[in-house]
Amino acid sequence: MQITNPVIKGFYPDPSICKAGDTYYLACSSMQYFPGVPLFESKDLINWRPIGHALTRRSQIMLDKVNSSGGVFAPTLRYNDGRFYMTTTNDTTRQNFFVWTDDIYGEWSEPIYIDQGGIDPDLYFEDGKVYFMSNGSDDNGRGVILQCQIDIVTGQKLTPSRPLWQGTGGRFLESPHMYLMNGWYYLMAAEGGTEFGHMVTYARSKSLHGPFEPYPHNPVLTNRNLGGYEIQAVGHGDLIQDQGGNWWIFHLGFRQIGKWIPYHHLGREVFLAPVTFREDGWFTAGHNGTTVTSFETNRIPEHVVQQEQKVYTFENTTWAIDWCYLRHPHDQNYKLHNDRLTLTGTEVTLDQADSPTFIGIRQKDFNASVACNVALTQSGEAGITLYMDENHHYDFAIRHADDQYEVILRLNIGDIKHVQQTVPIGTNSQVQLLVEASHERYTFSFQLDDGQSLELGTAQTKYLSSEVAGGFTGVIIGLYAVHEDAEAQFSSFVCEYQ
């Protein structure tokens, strides 16, 4: 059968995967968004269903006024002795912790903190012992993977942190994962930074504590030399063995907007590549060490069909699973119904690293049509925002000004906050907002109840890209309200991908 990448589209970075019974489970990082750490399940490794989040309570994660791309960094998801564990970093507070649950569809525990620094923590279970790894520095200040043994009940360190491996010399050594296979301990990591130089490297040892010998042909997986290729930044992987004994690597990557246009705004997504073990015990990954857009394989049964949801509405999504907030929401400002949404604004705006009245869904592909009816019942502003961070977002809204209503298009690009177009609509307090998205451009138009429609303008997608904005997130299609007297009702929301 043919597999098409990415297998999970949109801003779902840093995938980590485990298996319980005949089901695979996957977790991703979430940065400043809440709930934290999205979770997915699959029976076949290519069709993934969102099932919830690991961090659903304020007490589990501090997100108050964290900057964009702060907050929850890369998780590791593991299953051991009937229990799921998820360990991650709050990069803003510089704390590593883990939570656990016996029911992955239910609530997770309160956080248990580990006194070891670095990011991208990993948990490894063996013979009743638990080992914790993260990246860090050795006594000479060089990047290294650190390991200690912990008490899985209390999080207490039972051994000092010891250096395991310094990587291959690439910058930003991170994303450690440990595996035991056929008498070898494999330590896999990422190097090169989570941009165009990203890569997966690994080493092996006969001892859990090393020394580790690097794979002679590192990096084992990277697209760093594929100029003009859609998939870039391949790295940060996790291995899994399927029911048939085949090995795979799930990893992040991003799709640039054009062959020779090196910008990406959808965020880092989840990609899949095959892994093959050689007779000498080393493994290779991908297709000649790269990740491709689509590939044929006989590892997945022919009756399995890779499916993709193309239409997202209020009715066919779940608020607590598919949608997200900026940091911790003020619940009293949200009325979530099956077919509509009512938002009450505050003085907090989208330009602040705070919690404006905002709820969003990830943009999952380049070509899309977004439509939503917005009725503003009091003063203020409400509408759709294409949101990368507090300094980079396009706002398309209805607002009340001078005893009448108007539709506005505002472009926020760094320090430039420009109202691109304003169209008065008199006493009309309801409007249908329409956004057409392509690889390189968004187009904004609106329609009134009387059928009158007007295009307000366009904006380039690249100004919402990580290459312009910085950071590690992707565009969120957000619905928002601003001003303490603003109340708005949203209905007939449709996001359709071509």
Catalytic residue set: 14, 174
* Cα 252 to Cα 476: distance, rounded to the nearest angstrom: 18
CA dihedral 335, 336, 342, 343 (to 10 degrees): 70
Strand ranges (E), 206-298:
213-214, 231-241, 247-255, 269-277, 283-285, 294-296
Cα–Cα distance between 328 and 346 in angstroms, integer?
Answer: 14
Which residues are CB-neighbours of 158 under 8 A, at least 6 positions away?
Answer: 148, 149, 150, 151
CB count, 10 Å around CB of 151? 12
What is the C-alpha separation between 143 and 175, in angstroms, rounded? 12
The string over 307-341, giving b where at least 16 C-beta atoms fall within 10 Å of a residue's C-beta and e elsewhere, is eeeeebebeebeeebbbbbbbbbeeebbeeeeebb
Direct distance between the N- and C-terminal alpha carbons of the chain, in angstroms, rounded to an integer: 23
Asked if 129 contacts 149 with a C-beta cutoff of 8 angstroms, the reply is yes
Rounded Cα distance between 442 and 386, Å, is: 9
Residue 193 amino acid letter: G
Pair of tokens at residue 122: 């990993």
Query: CA nearest 481: which of 394, 405, 411, 380?
Result: 380
As a whole number of angstroms, the distance between CA 423 and CA 446 comes to 10
**CA distances (Å), origin 362, targets 220, 369, 407, 425:** 30, 13, 24, 30
What phi and psi values does residue 273 have, to the nearest 5 degrees? -145, 150
Measured distance CA(115)–CA(72) in Å, rounded: 17
Q: What residue ranges in 9-142 does DSSP mark as E strands?
A: 16-20, 23-27, 33-34, 36-42, 49-55, 76-80, 83-90, 95-101, 112-114, 122-126, 129-137
DSSP one-letter code for 391: T
Partnered with residue 234 across adjacent β-strands are none
